[in-house]
Amino acid sequence: MLSHNIKERRRILGITQEKLAERVETSTHYIGQIELGNKFPSPEMLERIAGALGIDSPQLFSMNSFPAEALKLFQEGLLADLETAVLGAIGSRIADFQRTYKGAEQDYPKNGHV
Protein backbone atom coordinates (compact mmCIF):
# COMPACT_ATOMS: atom_id res chain seq x y z
CA MET A 1 0.00 0.00 0.00
CA LEU A 2 2.82 2.42 0.85
CA SER A 3 4.57 1.97 -2.50
CA HIS A 4 1.29 2.36 -4.40
CA ASN A 5 0.29 5.47 -2.44
CA ILE A 6 3.63 7.18 -3.00
CA LYS A 7 3.57 6.45 -6.71
CA GLU A 8 -0.06 7.47 -7.22
CA ARG A 9 0.25 10.62 -5.14
CA ARG A 10 3.35 11.59 -7.10
CA ARG A 11 1.61 10.94 -10.42
CA ILE A 12 -1.52 12.88 -9.45
CA LEU A 13 0.65 15.83 -8.52
CA GLY A 14 2.57 15.52 -11.79
CA ILE A 15 5.91 14.99 -10.05
CA THR A 16 8.52 12.72 -11.67
CA GLN A 17 10.57 10.25 -9.66
CA GLU A 18 13.56 12.46 -10.39
CA LYS A 19 11.85 15.58 -9.01
CA LEU A 20 10.67 13.73 -5.90
CA ALA A 21 14.19 12.38 -5.36
CA GLU A 22 15.58 15.93 -5.59
CA ARG A 23 13.02 17.22 -3.10
CA VAL A 24 13.85 14.54 -0.53
CA GLU A 25 17.58 14.51 -1.28
CA THR A 26 17.95 10.92 -2.43
CA SER A 27 18.46 9.06 -5.70
CA THR A 28 15.88 8.43 -8.38
CA HIS A 29 16.81 4.75 -8.16
CA TYR A 30 15.91 4.66 -4.47
CA ILE A 31 12.51 6.30 -5.11
CA GLY A 32 11.90 3.73 -7.84
CA GLN A 33 12.78 0.90 -5.47
CA ILE A 34 10.37 2.27 -2.85
CA GLU A 35 7.60 2.54 -5.44
CA LEU A 36 8.24 -1.05 -6.55
CA GLY A 37 8.05 -2.21 -2.94
CA ASN A 38 11.64 -3.42 -2.95
CA LYS A 39 12.81 -0.92 -0.31
CA PHE A 40 11.14 0.44 2.79
CA PRO A 41 12.17 4.00 3.69
CA SER A 42 13.34 5.01 7.14
CA PRO A 43 10.95 7.04 9.32
CA GLU A 44 12.95 10.17 8.50
CA MET A 45 12.70 9.47 4.77
CA LEU A 46 8.98 8.77 5.10
CA GLU A 47 8.55 12.22 6.65
CA ARG A 48 10.51 13.85 3.84
CA ILE A 49 8.57 11.99 1.14
CA ALA A 50 5.23 12.83 2.73
CA GLY A 51 6.24 16.47 3.03
CA ALA A 52 7.31 16.59 -0.61
CA LEU A 53 3.94 15.11 -1.57
CA GLY A 54 2.03 17.59 0.60
CA ILE A 55 0.62 15.10 3.09
CA ASP A 56 1.37 13.72 6.57
CA SER A 57 3.34 10.47 6.72
CA PRO A 58 0.41 8.41 8.16
CA GLN A 59 -1.54 9.26 5.00
CA LEU A 60 1.04 7.29 3.01
CA PHE A 61 -0.44 4.16 4.59
CA SER A 62 -4.09 5.15 4.14
CA MET A 63 -6.51 3.86 1.56
CA ASN A 64 -7.87 7.41 1.33
CA SER A 65 -4.62 9.33 1.22
CA PHE A 66 -5.49 11.64 -1.65
CA PRO A 67 -7.32 14.91 -1.09
CA ALA A 68 -10.69 15.17 -2.82
CA GLU A 69 -9.40 18.16 -4.78
CA ALA A 70 -6.54 16.14 -6.28
CA LEU A 71 -8.84 13.24 -7.13
CA LYS A 72 -11.30 15.63 -8.77
CA LEU A 73 -8.52 17.12 -10.91
CA PHE A 74 -7.33 13.63 -11.81
CA GLN A 75 -10.87 12.58 -12.77
CA GLU A 76 -11.39 15.73 -14.85
CA GLY A 77 -8.11 15.07 -16.64
CA LEU A 78 -9.12 11.50 -17.40
CA LEU A 79 -12.49 12.64 -18.74
CA ALA A 80 -10.85 15.27 -20.93
CA ASP A 81 -8.38 12.68 -22.26
CA LEU A 82 -11.25 10.27 -22.93
CA GLU A 83 -13.24 12.94 -24.75
CA THR A 84 -10.23 13.84 -26.88
CA ALA A 85 -9.59 10.19 -27.73
CA VAL A 86 -13.22 9.49 -28.59
CA LEU A 87 -13.60 12.61 -30.73
CA GLY A 88 -10.33 11.80 -32.47
CA ALA A 89 -11.48 8.24 -33.18
CA ILE A 90 -14.84 9.46 -34.52
CA GLY A 91 -13.14 12.02 -36.73
CA SER A 92 -10.78 9.36 -38.04
CA ARG A 93 -13.66 6.98 -38.80
CA ILE A 94 -15.58 9.70 -40.63
CA ALA A 95 -12.51 10.62 -42.67
CA ASP A 96 -11.90 6.94 -43.54
CA PHE A 97 -15.54 6.54 -44.56
CA GLN A 98 -15.45 9.65 -46.71
CA ARG A 99 -12.24 8.51 -48.44
CA THR A 100 -13.62 5.03 -49.04
CA TYR A 101 -16.98 6.12 -50.40
CA LYS A 102 -15.98 9.39 -52.07
CA GLY A 103 -17.97 9.75 -55.28
CA ALA A 104 -20.13 6.74 -54.45
CA GLU A 105 -23.01 8.92 -53.27
CA GLN A 106 -24.40 9.20 -56.80
CA ASP A 107 -24.94 5.43 -56.73
CA TYR A 108 -27.46 5.78 -53.89
CA PRO A 109 -30.88 7.44 -54.15
CA LYS A 110 -31.27 10.51 -51.95
CA ASN A 111 -34.59 9.34 -50.48
CA GLY A 112 -33.15 6.00 -49.33
CA HIS A 113 -35.27 3.94 -51.75
CA VAL A 114 -33.79 1.75 -54.43
The three-point CA angle 42-43-49 to 5° equals: 85
Shared-domain flag, residues 88 and 57: no
Residue 9 lies in a domain: yes
Sign of the CA dihedral running 9, 14, 20, 23? negative
To the question of pTM greater than 0.75 for the whole model, the response is no
The number of distinct structural domains making up the chain is 2
* Residue 91, domain extent: 68-102
Shared-domain flag, residues 57 and 78: no
Residue 17 lies in a domain: yes
Shared-domain flag, residues 42 and 92: no
Residue 31 lies in a domain: yes
List pLDDT tens digits, range 49-79.
Answer: 999 999 988 888 886 656 677 777 778 888 8
Shared-domain flag, residues 81 and 51: no
Q: Residue 93, Cβ neighbours under 10 Å: how many?
A: 10
